[in-house]
Copies of this chain bind each other. A is one copy, B any other.
Amino acid sequence: MYSQIPTIFSEKISPEAREKIAQCKDFVERYCIPADKIYLEQISPDREKRWKEVPEIIGKLKIEARKRGLWNMFLSNKYSEGAGYTNLEYGCMAEHLGRSIVAPSVTNNNAPDTGNMEILARYGTKSQKEKWLNPLLDGAIRSAFLMTEKGTSSSNALNISCSAKLNSRGKYVINGVKWFASGSGDPNCAVWLVMCKTDSSKSTPYANHTVLLIDSKRALASGKAKLVRPLTVFGYDEAPHGHCEIVFEDYEVTDADNSEIILHKLGGGFEVIQSRLGPGRIHHCMRTIGVAEQALLTVAHRANNRLIFGTRMSERESFKTAYSQYKIDVEKCRILVLNAAHTIDVKGPKGAMREIAMAKIEVPRKVLQILDWCIQMFGAEGVSQDTPLARAYAETRTLRIADGPDEAHLGQLARNNAKDFPKIEKYFEELEQSRLDVAKL
């Protein structure tokens, strides 16, 4: 019933990973999806309380997940802390995690922590790892990456203007307004990774930024950093995690040595954010495919139980045909993403730039169409809290914007493709010559 992994990708998956994928599927189906409704009900409707505590079902499922070894699967075999899976293998797990709201959290594979853990594993000093990576891997704390800024075009990260300047005491003082910092509203969020402009004099503009590791609890306690408000996504505040607006007004980082707070190196911000992106985009895409598959299951269930003018909806030609077209669409997306995942495994994120961009552009766009159809098949119920569809639509919609809008990625591909144009001219010159040669045969 649930789609299989396409043959050629399946062949690349180790027996251990195959087993883990199956476990993951089982856990998601028997624990996580059933828990989603409980989770939503346990979020307090009170506007203050909903940000103070994480629903207790999360803690309970974390225990179940760890019991089964379903923990931190995202961290690839490139890292010593990694679970040892390839991006392709984890991709197949991520698809199942995407089918449930709670699954990524309860298995500690939730964004943005996953990306944050990856760069901490890659660039963190021993001390930074102890302080932040270990508790993150343990699920004890959460984290946020403060990138996007109010009033700035985020498709060009050079625009990032939140400043961190050394004061006379040799401490960094931060000023700026970040927003859409996912997860920053979480009561357990303990660390912010903040992309700051630490310089403006470098000959290459890509050397002016640095990612700083900020103890968020202390920063907020200082009164110089403020969680202004959660931004909503189509009306959802996504408590208790949220996407917050955070203002720094002369916040001086005094609680740690500068070497503790600089991730990688001074001026290394671009390197850090670039290495963060590739696999994370693939994880998002794979989860999104899980969203689509689960939505299609939900709508098939609806159609099986709904009469339209005396005929079961699932027996109507128009329904069956549309359903099948969408199943094709999901499969096309899956192949596209798994292809990108494998390319990362073989060639690294840089070598897979084109494949990642294609997946990032295509998958959310197509899944949104599918979700829209599913909503339509549910009628009014589809836009309401009684199905997971509208919420899924809203979250998926952000994927066309987050990490750079579609347009930015397509623009990047366009610039790369344009590099081929002179070669194409050369080819057509050769073609003219070949025409002469062939005419003489």
Residues of A within 8 A of B (CB): 1, 6-9, 12, 29-31, 33-35, 37-38, 45-47, 57, 60-61, 64, 148, 153-156, 179-180, 231-237, 243, 297, 300-301, 303-304, 306-309, 314-318, 320-321, 323-325, 327-328, 331-332, 335-336, 338-339, 342-343, 346-347, 355, 358, 361-362, 375-376, 379-380, 382-386, 390-391, 393-394, 397-398, 400-402, 405-407, 410-411, 413-415, 417-418, 420-421, 423-425, 427-428, 430-431, 434-435, 437-439, 441
Rounded to whole Å, the gap between the CB of A191 and the closest CB of chain B is 22
- The 9 listed contacts between A and B (C-beta, < 8 Å) are A233-B235, A233-B390, A234-B390, A235-B394, A304-B421, A328-B413, A376-B401, A376-B407, A390-B394
With most chain B CB atoms within 10 A of its CB, the pick from A29, A34, A37, A60 is A34
Residue in A46, A57, A237, A383 whose Cβ sees the most chain B Cβ within 10 Å: A383
On whether the beta carbons of A439 and B232 are closer than 8 Å, the reply is no
Alpha-carbon separation in the docked complex, A390 to B383 (Å): 13
CA distance A287 to B339 in the complex (A): 21
Chain B residues with CB under 8 A of A401: 376, 379-380, 382-383
Q: Once bound together, how far apart are the Cα atoms of A184 and B236, in whole Å?
A: 22
When A231-B386, A397-B383, A410-B325 are in contact, do A438 and B34 touch as well, CB less than 8 Å? yes
* Bound: A386/B318 CA distance, A: 30
Cβ–Cβ contact B321 & A411, under 8 A: yes
Q: A385 — which chain B residues lie within 8 A by C-beta?
A: 231-232
One complex includes copies of this chain to the number of: 4
A390: shortest Cβ distance to chain B, in Å?
5
Check B393–A8 contact: CB distance below 8 A: no
Q: Which chain B residue shows the least CB distance to A235?
A: B235
Partner of A1, one of B336, B384, B423: B423
Once A318-B318, A398-B383, A413-B324 are accepted as A-B contacts, the answer to whether A301 and B425 lie under 8 Å apart by CB is yes
Contact partners of A35 in chain B: CB under 8 A: 438
Contact pick for A7, options B45, B316, B347, B405, CB 8 Å: B347
Residues of B within 8 A of A438 (CB): 30-31, 34-35, 38, 57
Cα A317 to Cα B428 with chains together (Å): 23
Q: With A320-B417, A342-B7 in contact, is A156–B308 under 8 Å at CB?
A: yes
| Cβ-neighbour of A384 out of B231, B323, B332 (below 8 A) | B231
Q: Which of B34, B155, B384, B428 contacts A308 (CB 8 A)?
A: B155
**Known contacts A8-B9, A153-B308; A232 and B231 CB within 8 A of each other:** no
Chain B residue, CB-CB nearest to A231: B384
Q: How far is the CB of A384 from chain B (nearest CB, A)?
A: 4
Given contacts A12-B8, A328-B358, contact A405 B379 (CB under 8 A): yes
In the bound complex, what is the Cα–Cα distance between A231 and B309 (angstroms)? 26
| Contact assessment for B234 and A31 in the assembled complex, using a CB-CB cutoff below 8 Å | no
Query: In the complex the two chains form, is A235's CB within 8 Å of B391's CB?
Result: yes
Complex interface: chain B residues within 8 A of A297 (CB): 424, 427-428
Q: Is the CB of A441 within 8 A of B317?
A: no
CB <8 Å contact, B397 and A346: no
Q: Give the complex CA separation of A154 and B378 in angstroms.
A: 11
Residues from chain B with Cβ under 8 Å of A421 in the complex: 300, 303-304, 314
User: Most chain-B Cβ atoms within 10 A of its Cβ — which of A1, A180, A342?
Assistant: A1
Residues in chain B near residue A327, CB distance under 8 A: 413, 417
Residues of B within 8 A of A233 (CB): 235, 383-384, 390
7 tightest Cβ-Cβ pairs between the two chains A and B: A235-B235, A235-B236, A34-B434, A320-B414, A324-B414, A234-B234, A34-B435
Per the bound structure, the CA–CA distance linking A412 and B421 in Å amounts to 28
Inter-chain contacts of A420 with B (CB < 8 A) = 1, 300
